[in-house]
């Protein structure tokens, strides 16, 4: 798939120009960062209608308070729901902190993409999201939890934010979709300490599942105003080593 | 050290009866759960005055809003600061969600202990805390980040909460103190995927460092009211496998 095919395909699925751009920019950024499992393969995946596609659906903000919001995907793709949430937070950042719960929000793509936008706008962000059960217990049994990435992005007055975006799987489902990994490799990362990544995935799964008021895959986002700018000192101590999210 | 020695030692350090009990119960629970690095070794460690001990110091709540609080350890031990924060959240839980930032809050002990108390009181909790730099970049160089555990606790009407409590180190500093591991083993967990645990540790480190208004080790706690009770279904699917935090 070429870049122009992405736009054409999305338009062909019925998305308007604004949503087409929102979706395409996410997929193109994923490709450019080498996260191909969140890139063009997902455009093809959308054409197979793995989810009930309603290109006209719009997410709803059900609750809006200074420190808390609850959104519902309302039939819109998770990508578009998160994009709307990010725009809303940047338009009205919290005085101190706000928790945003997004129910019926799937698929959510490369979580670091959304938190990076928030950090580029000066907001500290932490985001997790659930997906179908794909990771089993290290001792065996059925699949119990999604790969449930945790993305944390930290702004800095000195330049690029730091963006940490970690899936709890040894490989991502996107890599399986992209043909770069087999389903057998879709286990908690960590080898002999896989129980740690499994525990993180289960904790994040239940965090989301306990905060959504409608069952289904969802996302939980924390946004906060920074009180300090610790990134330049960390970069100085790292002395040129590549930090999470750097190109 | 025996159980009664814990109380005697703490009293000897100048703590009053209430603080002695608060501290002792944490250390005893750590021992009982096999997390000896957070148990009796820490009582001995306190007697070496690794921190400026002021047994009469009391943490302060500097900001109090429905969705946000900022606390300052004010010279009190981090354990006592977190205990005061937990009590305050249980006395006045958020209508929806609240972020609590604790600055100058060290040492914080077994984070799952504090989140378990919140979940036992019906509150969803996620907590991280920083410590001195003990983990280096997988590619080498100096120590850049604390082991920065992430603890998530989920209440359930059906019984015991789930408590996921994961340090990003292959071993904990407490295990090094307890003699069960060497400093060389204090690296990000995950073997060939240690970059993932390193990224999590760095993300959590900067999350705390960017939200505290006074530099130093701190903690960030999210508390929220659950909208759902997903734990019984997960336990059913796990079919008897041990889930995080279970004895």
Both tokens assigned to B95? 């209508």
With a CB cutoff of 8 Å and minimum separation 6, the contacts of B242 are: A139
pLDDT tens track for A178-237: 888 999 999 999 999 999 999 999 999 999 999 999 999 999 999 999 999 999 999 999
At residue B49, the pLDDT reads: 74
CB contact under 8 A, B162 and A203: yes
A158 and B CB contact within 8 Å: no
Whose CA is closest to A58, among A18, A89, A113, A2?
A: A18
Confirm or reject contact between B62 and chain A (CB < 8 A): no
Task: Quote the Cα angle for A20-A114-A68, to 5°.
Answer: 115
- pLDDT score of A51: 67
Contact of A98 with chain B, judged by CB distance below 8 Å, is answered with yes
Which residues in chain B are closer than 8 Å to A169, comparing Cβ atoms? none
Q: Which residue, among B116, B126, B196, would best test binding to A if mutated, counting the most A CBs under 10 Å from its CB?
A: B196
HEC states along chain B? CCHHHHHHHHHHCCCCHHHHHHHHHHHHHHHHCCCHHHCHHHHHHHHCCCCCCCCCCCCEEEEEECCEEEEECCCCCHHHHHHHHHHHHHHCCCCCEEEEEEECCCCCCCHHHHHHHHHHCCCEEEEEECCCCCEEECCEEEEEECCCCEEEEEEECCEEEEEEEECCECCCHHHHHCCCCCHHHCCECCHHHHHHHHHHHHHHHHHHHHHCCCCCCCEEEEEECCCCCCHHHHHHHHCCCCCCCCC
CB–CB contact B141 A241 (8 Å) = yes
List, for residues A73-132, the tens digit of each pLDDT value: 999 999 999 999 999 999 999 999 999 999 999 999 999 999 999 999 999 999 999 999
Helix axes A3-12, A40-47, angle to 10 degrees: 20
Tell me how close the Cα of A61 comes to any Cα of chain B, in angstroms.
Answer: 15
How much is the average pLDDT of B70-75? 98
Residues of A with Cβ-Cβ distance to B140 under 8 angstroms: 241
Using a CB-CB distance cutoff of 8 angstroms, which residues of chain A are in contact with residue B210?
Answer: 124, 154-155, 226-231
d(C-alpha B43, C-alpha B208), whole Å: 26
Percent of chain B with pLDDT over 70: 99
A241:B211 CB<8 A: no
Residue B196 tokens read as 């993932």
Chain B residue with minimum CA distance to A196: B166
Directed axis angle between helix A231-238 and helix B194-211, to 10°? 140
The predicted model gives B115-125 an average pLDDT of: 98
Q: Does A91 touch chain B (CB under 8 A)?
A: no
Rounded to the nearest 10 degrees, the angle between the axes of helix B17-32 and helix B40-47 is 140
Are the beta carbons of B148 and B130 closer than 8 angstroms?
yes
- Model pLDDT for residues A53-69, shown as the tens digit of each residue: 899 999 999 999 999 99
Instruction: Pull the structure tokens for residue A196.
Output: 């740690």
Q: Quick one: average pLDDT of B113-120?
A: 98
- A154 at interface of B, judged by CB pairs closer than 8 A: yes
Give residue B174's pLDDT: 81
In the beta sheet, which residues pair with residue B165?
A: B151
H or E element in which residue A1 lies: none
pTM for the structure as a whole: 0.98
Domains and CATH numbers, chain A: 57-238 (3.30.1370.60)
Using a CB–CB cutoff of 8 Å, tell me whether B193 touches chain A.
yes
Show residues of chain B in contact with A239, CB under 8 Å: 141-142
Residue to mutate among B143, B206, B207, B218, with most A CBs inside 10 A, is B206
Q: Which tokens go with B75?
A: 């010279």
Q: Mutating which of B164, B194, B195 best tests the A interface, going by the most A Cβ atoms within 10 A?
A: B164
* For residue B175, pLDDT beyond 90: no
DSSP-derived pairing of the beta strands A124-129 and A135-137:
unpaired
Point out the residue among A192, A202, A238 whose CB comes nearest to the CB of B141: A238
- The residues, ordered by sequence, that sit 6+ positions from A209 with a Cβ below 8 Å of its Cβ are A130, A215, A218, B228, B230
Q: With a CB-CB cutoff of 8 Å, which residues 17-46 of chain B face chain A?
A: none
Please answer yes or no on whether A162 and B198 come within 8 Å at the CB atom: no
Helices (H), A33-177: 40-47, 78-91, 111-120, 173-177
- The A residues from 208 to 237 touching B (CB cutoff 8 Å) are 209-213, 215, 222, 224, 226-231, 234, 237
Taking 80 as the threshold, does the pLDDT of residue B51 lie above it?
no
With 80 as the cut, is the pLDDT of residue A49 above it? Answer: no
Q: Check residue B172 and give its pLDDT.
A: 86
pLDDT at B5: 95
């Amino acid at each position: 798939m070429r870049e122009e095919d992405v736009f054409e395909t999305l338009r062909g699925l019925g998305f308007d120009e604004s949503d087409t751009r929102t979706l395409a920019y996410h997929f193109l950024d994923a490709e450019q960062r080498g996260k191909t499992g969140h890139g063009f393969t997902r455009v093809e995946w959308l054409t197979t209608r793995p989810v009930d596609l309603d290109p006209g659906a719009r997410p709803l903000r059900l609750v809006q308070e200074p420190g808390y919001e609850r959104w519902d995907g309302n039939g819109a793709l998770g990508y578009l729901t998160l994009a709307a949430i990010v725009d809303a937070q940047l338009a009205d950042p919290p005085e101190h902190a706000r928790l945003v719960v997004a129910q019926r929000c799937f698929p959510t793509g490369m979580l670091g993409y959304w938190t990076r936008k928030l950090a580029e706008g000066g907001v500290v962000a932490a985001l997790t999201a659930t997906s179908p059960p794909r990771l089993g217990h290290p001792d065996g049994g059925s699949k119990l939890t999604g790969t449930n990435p945790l993305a944390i992005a930290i702004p800095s007055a000195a330049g690029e934010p730091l963006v940490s975006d970690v899936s709890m799987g040894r490989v991502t489902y996107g890599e399986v979709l992209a043909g770069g990994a087999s389903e057998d490799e879709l286990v908690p990362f960590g080898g002999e300490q896989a129980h740690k990544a499994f525990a993180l995935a289960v904790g994040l799964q239940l965090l989301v599942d306990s905060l959504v008021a409608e069952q289904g895959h969802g996302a939980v986002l924390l946004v906060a105003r920074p009180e300090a700018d610790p990134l330049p000192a960390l970069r100085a101590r790292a002395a040129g080593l590549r930090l999470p999210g750097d190109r």
